[in-house]
Every structure is written in structure tokens, then in C-alpha cells.
Structure 1
Amino acid sequence: MRDQELKKAQDSIKSRVDQVVDCGLWNVGPLLFNGCVKLLDIGRNWNTLSYTPIQSIPNMLNGRAEMADGIYDDVIRTESERMNTDRMEMTVEIYESAECVRDHDFRTETNTHQPLQRTGSDYVKIRSSRAAAVCLVLLCVLLLTAVIVLCVTFTLERRQLISKNENLTNERDQLLTNITNLSEERDGLKIKNKNLTNERDQLLNKNTALTNDRDELTKERDQQLNMISNLTEERDQLLNKNMALTNQRDELTKERDQQLNMISHLTEERDQLLNKNMALTNQRDELTKERDQFNQERNELWKMLNEMGGYIYQSSFYFISSEKRNWAESRRYCTERGADLIIINNREEQEFVKKMPGGTGVWIGLTDSDVEGRWKWVDGSALTSGFWAFGEPSGYKRENCAVLFSSGWHDYLCNDAFKCICEKNI
């Protein structure tokens, strides 16, 4: 029974080691395996312990506790020594430890085949040893659990330290960058300071030169002030003399102004009289010319009236041609006689012309031959209001000259032949 329980304990320890190895805790595996081997060595010595007196069990348990503390110290020490070893060396150590366990199992089995003769006291000792073994196994489990918790805690702390180290590294890089930027700014400020120092020196030199110039100018100013004071005294004397002369001049000026005013009044009266005389002379001459022109025009009109049988309306003289001509020849006929084709300005003149004998079917001085649709009189003025017959003008681009009928104006071809009515201002 003892051998079977020992074998079970060995199998459980091996399984825990395999789990630790599978989980990747390479640094912890060899340590646990060494602890288990020591426990197996303790179990191997149980054969000798089975025949000790029951009274020695407390001493044995105290020794086991000291041995457990030694194992724990060995585990911690071995962990610190093997933190930086290679994974392959750890694996080799695990396999070597496993072979030692197998050898130990084989020796144990050979010992179990030896026949033993046990008495009643032997069974009591065996039971006590089994209880001690169970306690040791529980102690081993607690030790393994504590080691695993410590490993996990160490791993988390290591990760935290790594992250803190990375953060500190980044902060260090940032600080180095800031130091570099500050160094560049410092160099720039040194250069600026040097430039400002040079400028200050230059300004000090200029200030010294300006101070010297100021002193010289101050001396000159004092000399000038002395001269000004002397000149001021002379000016005051001259002003007094000038005031006396000015008073005399003012009196003489008043007398002269009075005489000039009298002369100017007399000159104005003379000029007014001369202008009036000239105006009257010019008016007389103009009236004489107008009278002569009027007499001449009156005589010419009487001749024309006698020759052409014309008519007078307001300030215009009208006469009608005896022959039919086109519009351009009719206008030439009028201009050769000092007149032009008629310009009808209002309805009264329109009715007067219509009542004249032969006053219908005659050319008038209206055409749009220059710009189609823009009717103008022969004097160049634009037509503002006309007396067109219904539906007129209707000739578009072909009929560009106006003919007076009793129904109103009509547009005809300018090459058609009609009589014309001429108008002359009198």
C-alpha cells in the first residue's frame, strides 16, 4: 500500500511538472523537478523510518519542516541563478531528472518484492509513516502553488517594469528631442545676442558721433542766438522808423486814393457815355441794314409773287412748280430759287397747304433714303409727328420719298414724277 501511494505521488508530481513545462514556465520547471526529486529521496528513506519508534515522529516532522524550508530556499536560489540560462539546457535537465525518477522507481519496486514479516506495531508505524507522507505531499502541493503564484506575480511585475521602461525610454527620447530643440534655440539666441551686441556697439558709436555733433551745433546755436539778439535790436529800431514812415505813407495813400476815386468815377462816366454812343451807332447801322434788306426782300417777293403766283402764310412764302419732276430734281428746283421743299410743322400749316390750288399730289421735303424707317426733313431734323394716310408709309425700302395728298401723306418711289411745293422763310 505504501509503495502504491508513493507511486501515485510520483505520478502526480510528474503530471504537474509536465503541465508547468507545457504552460511555458521553463524557468520554474527545473526548480519544481528538483524539489520533487528531493521529496522522492525522502520517500525512499521511509523504509528505514518505518522501523523507528513512534515517539520519534515529531522529531521527524520537524526535520521535514526544516528540509521543506531548505527546499524552498533552494528553489528561490536556483530560480535567481537560472533566470538567464538557455531553454534547451532546461529541457535537458528535465529529462535527466525524469531518468533519475525512473531509476528510483525501479529500486523501490525491487525493494517491495522482498518479503517482510510485519507485526502489530509495524502496522502502526506504517500508518504513521503514511500520514507523514500525506502531510508532505500536501506541503509539496502548497509549495508548488506558492511558487506558481510567485512566478505569475514576478511575470506581471516584469511586464509592468518593461512597460514602465518603455514609457521612460519614450520620455527620455522626448526629453532628448526637447534638449536638442532648446540647444538649437539657445544657439540661435546666442547668434541674435551677438548680432544685437554688434548693433549696440554701432549705435553707441553713432551716439558718440551724434553727441559730438550736438555739442558743435550747440556752440553754433549760441553764436547764432547772439547774432539774433543783435539783429533783433536793430530790427526794433528799424521797426520804429518803419512805423513812422508807414504813418506818413498811409496819409499820402489816403489822399491818393481819394484822387484816384474821383478819376475812376469820371472815367466810368466817360466810358458809359462812349458805350452808349457806340451802341446807339451800332443799332442805327443794323437798323439801316435790316431796312435795306427788308426792302430788297420785299421787292424780290413782289417779283416772285408776280412771276410764280405764290402764297404767304405766317413768316413763310410758298409756291408750287408748274412741271412734274422726281424728288431730287424738285428739290434742286426749289434751292435754285432760294427756297427748299416744304417742311410741315403743324396741322394748321398742313390744312393751309391742302387748301392752296394744286396743293395736293406734290412732293414735300420728307425722306428716309439715308436710314430706312427714319424719316427726316430736308433741314436734317427728325420727324416727330406726321400726317400719314391710313396704312402709310407702306413702301418699305423702295418708296423713300413723301407726297402730299388730301387724305394725308404717302410714300412713293423717289424717281416718280410729281409737282413740288417750295417754302422760303421771309
Structure 2
Amino acid sequence: MQGEIGKTTEDTYENIDVIRTKLQRETTNSNKMRLQSSELTGRDSGKMRGYRAATVCLVLVSTLLLTAAIVLLIKITSLTEERHQLLTNNTNLIQLNKQLKELKNELWNFTQNGWIYYKFSFYYVSTEMKNWNESRIDCIERQADLLIINSTEEQGFMKKIVSSTNVWIGLTDADEEGIWKWVDGSILTSGFWSTGQPNGKYIQNCVVSSSISWADTQCNYTYKWICEKNILPVVLP
């Protein structure tokens, strides 16, 4: 009886040892699992932080590249416009030089043929005497027309080129009595008539000018005449 009780007690101790061993193993395994889980969680968290950092870097790099591209595009556009402006200026300079050369040649040719230059116009004083219509025909053949006086300065210029001689100018009322028109069709608004002029009515329909003033006279009389050829001032296109 005592033997059985002792055996039972030993078995109980053995069972307790087995249980303790199992518990220790389970505790150890549980700790290992928690440790591994913690390590995995830490690794995952590290990876997430790495992904986020990489994403932020990628966004920053993309933003910098986009900004650089925009700045480069603006600079290229600006340089293109500057190049176009330089080419335009160069073209204008070439055109200006061409016009100046043409004007110089024209001045030379005209002055060699008796023409006088004054404020973008050439003037030719005849040495012959003809009636008004014949005088105008001569001017047209010279690619000009009878003189049109537009200002006091131009009338004053007459003093230098005709002295006191009467010359035909391009003014007539042959189309309608009393309506004085220049040869370009424009109507006279103010003039430099001598006192009492014009006074010829239907008989005197053409105008001569001295260095000081005008007078109407018969168109079939003969006088010297002045041709005028206008030229445009040199301008950039």
C-alpha cells in the first residue's frame, strides 16, 4: 500500500516536471514568436518609412525637373524673340542703306540735270518760255508736274530760284471759273495773290508766280515754268 502511494507520488512529480517543461517550452516559443513578430513589424515599418522617403524624394526631383524645364523653355522663347528682333533690325538696316543709296543716286542724277533739291522735292526751272499747257507737258515728260506751293516756306524758296522772273505754277480755274485747283486736283484754300488778284475772270485762267506773289493771266501767254517732283522721305518698313 505504501509502495503504491510512493509510486503515485513519483508519477505525480514526473507529471509536474513534464507540465513544467511544456509550459517552459510554450513560454519560450511564445516569446520567440512575439520577438519575431516584433522584428517583422519593425522591418515592415522601416520599409514603409523607406517607401515614403523615396516617394517624397521622387516628388521633389520631379518638381525640380519640371521647374527647370519651365525656366529653360522661357529662356529659349526669350532668346528666339531676341534673335528674331536682331534679324528684323538687320533687315531694316539693309533696307535703310538701300534706300539711302537710291536717294543718293537720285539726288546726283537730278542735280546733274538742272534740278534743285529742297525738303523732299526736286525743282526744275526752265530756260525756255512756253504757254501753260506746253509747260505742264514738259514737266510730265520729266516725270514731274508744274509746281504746287503748299507753304510760306516754299513760296519763300521761290525767291532763291526765280528772282523776280514770272514763272508758271500748277494752278488754274479753267475747269470752273473762280474755283482754283492745283494740278493734283486739290482746291486752293489760301494763296499768295498780289493785291487785286485774281482779276482776269473768264479770260485769265492760269497763274504765274514771282518771288513774292501770284497773278492770274491768259494761259496762252509764254513764260518760264517750274517743275516739281516729290520724293518720299526715307523710312524704315
Same fold (TM over 0.5): yes
Q: Which residue of 2 aligns with 1:377?
A: 182
| Cα deviation digits, residues 373-409 of structure 1 (max 9, x gap) | 2222233333222000111111223322211024511
Deviation at 1:269, TM superposition (A): 5.2
Q: Which residue of 2 aligns with 1:411?
A: 216
Q: TM (normalized to structure 1)?
A: 0.35
1:299 correspondence with 2:105: yes
| Cα deviation digits, residues 93-117 of structure 1 (max 9, x gap) | xxxxxxxxxxxxxxxxxxxxxxxxx
1:391 correspondence with 2:196: yes
CA 1:411–1:271: 2 relative to 1, 3 Å: farther
Q: Which residue of 1 aligns with 2:80?
A: 274
State the secondary structure of the residue aligned to 1:307. coil
Q: Measure, in 2, the Cα distance between the counterparts of 1:376 and 1:390.
A: 20
1:353 correspondence with 2:158: yes
| Cα deviation digits, residues 89-138 of structure 1 (max 9, x gap) | xxxxxxxxxxxxxxxxxxxxxxxxxxxxxxxxxxxxxxxxxxxxxxxxxx
Given that 2:111 and 2:117 are in contact with CA atoms closer than 8 Å, whether structure 1 keeps it comes out as no
Whichever residue aligns with residue 224 of structure 2, its letter is: K
| Aligned counterparts, 1:292-331, within 5 A | 292-308=98-114, 310-331=115-136
| Aligned counterparts, 1:186-265, within 5 A | none
Deviation at 1:271, TM superposition (A): 4.5
Q: Measure, in 1, the Cα distance between the counterparts of 2:140 and 2:88.
A: 33
The structure in which a higher percent of residues are helix is 1
| Cα deviation digits, residues 66-100 of structure 1 (max 9, x gap) | xxxxxxxxxxxxxxxxxxxxxxxxxxxxxxxxxxx
Deviation at 1:267, TM superposition (A): 5.5
Q: Measure, in 2, the Cα distance between the counterparts of 1:269 and 1:415.
A: 74
State the secondary structure of the residue aligned to 1:324. coil
| Cα deviation digits, residues 7-56 of structure 1 (max 9, x gap) | xxxxxxxxxxxxxxxxxxxxxxxxxxxxxxxxxxxxxxxxxxxxxxxxxx
Given that 2:125 and 2:161 are in contact with CA atoms closer than 8 Å, whether structure 1 keeps it comes out as no
CA 1:266–1:394: 2 relative to 1, 3 Å: farther
Q: Which residue of 2 aligns with 1:172?
A: none
Q: Which residue of 2 aligns with 1:10?
A: none
Whichever residue aligns with residue 375 of structure 1, its letter is: W
Deviation at 1:410, TM superposition (A): 1.1
| Cα deviation digits, residues 353-391 of structure 1 (max 9, x gap) | 123246631111222233332222233333222000111
Q: Measure, in 1, the Cα distance between the counterparts of 2:81 and 2:141.
A: 43
CA 1:275–1:306: 2 relative to 1, 3 Å: same
CA 1:368–1:385: 2 relative to 1, 3 Å: same
Deviation at 1:268, TM superposition (A): 5.8
Given that 1:353 and 1:359 are in contact with CA atoms closer than 8 Å, whether structure 2 keeps it comes out as no
Larger Rg: 1
The structure in which a higher percent of residues are strand is 2
Q: Which residue of 2 aligns with 1:230?
A: none
Given that 1:320 and 1:358 are in contact with CA atoms closer than 8 Å, whether structure 2 keeps it comes out as no
Given that 1:321 and 1:421 are in contact with CA atoms closer than 8 Å, whether structure 2 keeps it comes out as yes
Gaps of 5+ in 2: 1-61, 232-237
State the secondary structure of the residue aligned to 1:356. helix
State the secondary structure of the residue aligned to 2:197. coil
Q: Measure, in 2, the Cα distance between the counterparts of 1:357 and 1:373.
A: 27
Identity %: 47
CA 1:386–1:281: 2 relative to 1, 3 Å: same
Given that 1:354 and 1:360 are in contact with CA atoms closer than 8 Å, whether structure 2 keeps it comes out as no
State the secondary structure of the residue aligned to 1:421. strand
Q: Which residue of 1 aligns with 2:21?
A: none
Q: Which residue of 2 aligns with 1:339?
A: 144
